[in-house]
């Protein structure tokens, strides 16, 4: 009997042992790096295999079987008898399987909704081998339906976004290749029907051969179905991450498939990215990109609030550092255009390179993520950041304003601050409700003109102003006065309202501490001036000595506090800030360094919540200094009045003697002695008042030292040592009798 044209493909393949998937021509898994050959489609290869030797069909027909016979002979029944009276043939199963491959129920094999799979009906007369083989083949139909259902649902969903639509397009592309295979198989089946292959000959389409020929397509469909499952509910960059996760496999065949899909899926993401870093434009209608924009944010908060990272949308093939740089690049471009009003074209800032204009460009980019892609991001990041910092420093004098904050709000301009205090003293001793801001502003301008502050830039001086805080009952001008520094435009991005609020708090603290130093200086001047005047009142020397001792204690305390604040807090923190600012690569680095600077001085100046107890004790010390000033002024006033009366009495006495009269009468002398006695009797009260003040002051200082000793900040613990270097307070307070090493260990345990 002559053979059909199909059987001439390979007699061994048709009649011999069923080849393994690896032995099928063109189906072997290849090593990585084979490029497009790895993705050669099975449909094309199978079509060539099935039709390559078709001329032999004519030869066979001409040898033994007339065409008329082939048309008139009754052909064996191929379809299954629905009544189940005959055994199901393999040919009928093949015909059903080809429909199932497309997700269409056959006559024998149908979808079982209960078990969610295709299987032969229970009444079909099938042996176990055929039933198992049929079930394995029918899995392709189930996989096809799963993928097709996903694409049908998502393709019309506009909210799925460009990345999702690209994913659906990639799935459609793979299904299209799968349909090519099915088309070849259907064509061969039709060819056999038309040419009479079934006239006693074995069909080339058997279940075993279908099992072999569909091995690779089944792997592809399984991979696609797994992707569909993994990508459910995901969109945008999150979906790209889900696909990228499947590229981390050792199977080069699967890896090639997923990389091809990833190149299609990631193309919209990379298009978003390049448009953002080269143009600063963000057209993300469906919120797929990892950079988010808030249109409600105003220009003054553009840098801080307008643009943020959607961490869930960062593709896994882009690192967090890269995504931060991408955010900064586009943000810098928009900041320059909208806040700095710098319309310099991006091409002059950045050397724009070729972007991912097509999926193939995206595929090429994935082959060199660590070099080419990283290089593009780094180049754009460094160039835009450098340009932005140059604009801020040269056009808007950012660093000059930062130094002005240090000089004026942090009291770094010593001559100006001292002269300002001298000029303000007559005004600030008055009740706060009687102050007028325009008067204080005039005094400020006078202080500027009289000191080195006059040499500052007019741009800086015009921003320096006076501010009066909210008045509470009993406040004096000292309690409500503050310097202010107006910021606007681009520099307000660094000096935000929160930052200026911190500066205001620190200024008030430093101003109050400086005022204590100013008061103690006046007290010491009073000592020196009045000591000579009151030399003729020996009974008053004890009071003077007591005042001098207490004032010396306070001077030591304030000097040590000023040293700590000026050098250990302000100067060290400022030096650290300045070094960071000089080395900053972008505006975020400057903002972060500035915030750390403010947080540090807020903490070390005892203005944070953890140091509230320390600050309360320090304010109590300041109150005692003011109390000493008031007490000493009252004592000196009484003493000087007494001295003045005595001098007047002696002057009057000398004048009468010069006139030849009695210098003093008995009555006047008695009255004078009585007055002197009353004054001398008031001296113990003055001493008692000073002793009480000393007792309160020392108690407050001792409590302050105890709190310093238990602080977690090492610099504060060493401050307690300097404040009590001669152990004067340690002798009075048992809790202070601990070594510095023990203090540190105790505080770390607490």
- Res. 66: pLDDT tops 80: no
Mention every residue, 6+ apart, whose C-beta is less than 8 A from residue 733. 702, 705, 706
Instruction: Give the integer Cα–Cα distance in Å for 588 and 594.
Output: 10
- Res. 182: pLDDT tops 50: yes
- Res. 203: pLDDT tops 80: no
pLDDT, position 688: 93
* Residue 567 pLDDT class (50, 70, 90 cuts): very high
Tens of pLDDT, residues 131-178: 888 888 989 999 999 999 999 988 888 889 999 999 999 999 999 999
The arithmetic mean of pLDDT across residues 582-606, rounded, is 96
pLDDT, position 16: 35
Which of these ranges, 258-262, 267-271, 350-354, 475-479, has the smallest mean pLDDT?
350-354
Tens of pLDDT, residues 417-476: 999 999 999 999 999 999 999 999 999 999 999 999 999 999 999 999 999 999 999 899
Burial of 547 (0-12, 13-18, 19+ CB in 10 A): buried
Tens of pLDDT, residues 397-433: 999 999 999 999 999 999 999 999 999 999 999 999 9
The arithmetic mean of pLDDT across residues 651-656, rounded, is 79
- Res. 200: pLDDT tops 60: no
* Residue 649 pLDDT class (50, 70, 90 cuts): confident
For residues 73 and 658, the model is more confident at 658
The arithmetic mean of pLDDT across residues 728-736, rounded, is 80
Tell me the two tokens of residue 259. 């990389």
Which of these ranges, 316-325, 655-664, 737-746, has the smallest mean pLDDT?
737-746
End-to-end alpha carbon distance in the chain: 101
Burial of 565 (0-12, 13-18, 19+ CB in 10 A): buried
The arithmetic mean of pLDDT across residues 733-746, rounded, is 58
Backbone φ/ψ region at 188: left (φ over 0), alpha (ψ -120 to 50), beta: alpha
* Residue 527 pLDDT class (50, 70, 90 cuts): confident
Helices 90-100 & 161-195, crossing angle to 10 degrees?
160
Q: What percent of the chain has pLDDT over 90?
A: 55
Report field, pTM of the whole predicted structure over 0.75:
yes
Other CB atoms within a 10 A radius of the CB of residue 749 amount to 6
pLDDT, position 363: 58
The arithmetic mean of pLDDT across residues 304-319, rounded, is 94
- Res. 41: pLDDT tops 60: no
- Res. 347: pLDDT tops 90: no
For residues 193 and 318, the model is more confident at 318
pLDDT, position 334: 95
Whose CA is closest to 243, among 233, 258, 256? 258
Give the H/E segment covering residue 111. Answer: strand 109-112
pLDDT, position 61: 37
3-state secondary structure 272-287: HHHHHHHHCCCCCCCC
**In the beta sheet, which residues pair with residue 485?**
464
Question: By three-state DSSP, how is residue 112 classified?
Answer: strand
pLDDT, position 346: 80
């Amino acid at each position: 009997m002559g053979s059909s044209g199909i059987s001439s493909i390979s007699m061994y393949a048709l009649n011999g042992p069923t080849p393994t998937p690896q032995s099928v021509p063109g189906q072997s898994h290849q090593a990585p790096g084979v490029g497009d050959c790895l993705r050669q489609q099975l449909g094309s290869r199978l079509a060539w295999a099935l039709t390559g030797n078709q001329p032999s069909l004519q030869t066979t027909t001409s040898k033994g079987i007339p065409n008329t016979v082939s048309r008139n002979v009754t052909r064996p029944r191929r379809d299954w008898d629905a009544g189940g009276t005959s055994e199901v043939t393999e040919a009928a199963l093949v015909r059903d399987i080809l429909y199932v491959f497309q997700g269409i129920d056959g006559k024998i094999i149908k979808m079982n909704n209960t078990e969610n799979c295709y299987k032969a009906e229970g009444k079909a007369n099938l042996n176990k081998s055929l039933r198992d083989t049929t079930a394995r083949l029918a899995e392709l139909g189930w996989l096809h339906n799963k993928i097709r259902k996903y694409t049908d649902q998502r393709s019309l969903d506009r909210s799925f976004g460009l990345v999702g639509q690209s994913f659906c397009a990639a799935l459609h592309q793979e299904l299209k290749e799968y349909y090519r295979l099915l088309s070849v198989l259907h064509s061969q089946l039709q060819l056999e029907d038309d040419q009479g292959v079934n006239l006693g000959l074995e069909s080339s389409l058997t279940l075993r051969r279908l099992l072999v020929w569909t091995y690779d397509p089944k792997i592809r469909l399984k991979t696609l179905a797994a992707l569909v499952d993994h990508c459910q509910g995901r969109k945008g960059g999150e979906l790209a991450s889900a696909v990228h996760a499947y590229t981390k496999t050792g199977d080069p065949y699967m890896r090639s498939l997923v990389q091809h899909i990833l190149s299609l899926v990631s193309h919209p993401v990379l298009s978003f990215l390049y448009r953002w870093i080269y143009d600063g434009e963000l057209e993300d209608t469906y919120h797929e990109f990892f950079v988010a924009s808030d249109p409600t944010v105003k220009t003054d908060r553009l840098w801080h609030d307008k643009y943020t990272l959607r961490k869930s949308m960062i593709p896994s093939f882009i690192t967090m550092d890269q995504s931060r740089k991408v955010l900064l690049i586009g943000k810098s471009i928009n900041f320059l255009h909208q806040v700095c009003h710098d319309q310099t074209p991006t091409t002059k800032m950045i050397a724009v390179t070729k972007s991912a204009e097509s999926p193939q460009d995206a595929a090429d980019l994935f082959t060199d993520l660590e070099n080419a892609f990283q290089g593009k991001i780094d180049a754009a990041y460094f160039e835009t950041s450098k340009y932005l910092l140059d604009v801020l420093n040269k056009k808007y004098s950012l660093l000059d304003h930062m130094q002005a904050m240090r000089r004026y709000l942090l009291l770094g301009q010593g001559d100006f601050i001292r002269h300002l205090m001298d000029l303000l003293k007559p005004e600030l001793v008055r009740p706060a409700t009687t102050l007028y801001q325009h008067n204080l502003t005039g005094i400020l301008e006078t202080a500027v003109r009289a000191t080195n502050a006059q040499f500052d830039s007019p741009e800086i001086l015009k921003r320096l102003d006076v501010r009066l805080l909210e008045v509470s009952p009993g406040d004096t001008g000292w309690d409500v006065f503050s310097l202010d520094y107006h910021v606007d435009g681009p520099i307000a991005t660094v000096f935000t309202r929160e930052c200026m609020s911190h500066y205001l708090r620190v200024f008030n603290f430093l101003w109050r501490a400086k005022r204590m130093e100013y008061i103690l200086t006046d007290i010491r001047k009073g000592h020196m001036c009045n000591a000579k005047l009151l030399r003729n009142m020996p009974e008053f020397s004890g009071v003077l000595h007591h005042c001098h001792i207490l004032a010396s204690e306070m001077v030591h305390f304030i000097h040590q506090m000023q040293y700590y604040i000026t050098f250990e807090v302000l100067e060290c923190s400022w030096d650290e800030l300045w070094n960071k600012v000089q080395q900053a690569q972008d505006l975020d680095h400057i903002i972060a360094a500035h915030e750390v600077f403010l947080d540090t001085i807020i903490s070390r100046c005892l203005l944070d919540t953890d140091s509230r107890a320390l600050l309360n004790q320090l304010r109590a010390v300041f109150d005692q200094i003011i109390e000493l000033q008031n007490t000493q002024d009252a004592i000196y006033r009484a003493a000087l009045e007494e001295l003045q009366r005595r001098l007047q009495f002696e002057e009057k006495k000398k004048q009468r003697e010069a006139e030849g009269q009695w210098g003093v009468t008995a009555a006047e002398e008695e009255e004078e002695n009585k007055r002197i006695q009353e004054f001398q009797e008031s001296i113990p009260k003055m001493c008692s008042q000073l002793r009480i003040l000393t007792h309160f002051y020392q108690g407050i200082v001792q409590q302050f030292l105890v709190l310093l000793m238990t602080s977690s900040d090492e610099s504060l613990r060493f401050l307690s040592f300097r404040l009590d270097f001669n152990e004067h307070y340690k002798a009075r307070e048992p809790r202070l009798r601990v070594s510095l090493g023990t203090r540190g260990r105790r505080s770390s345990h607490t």
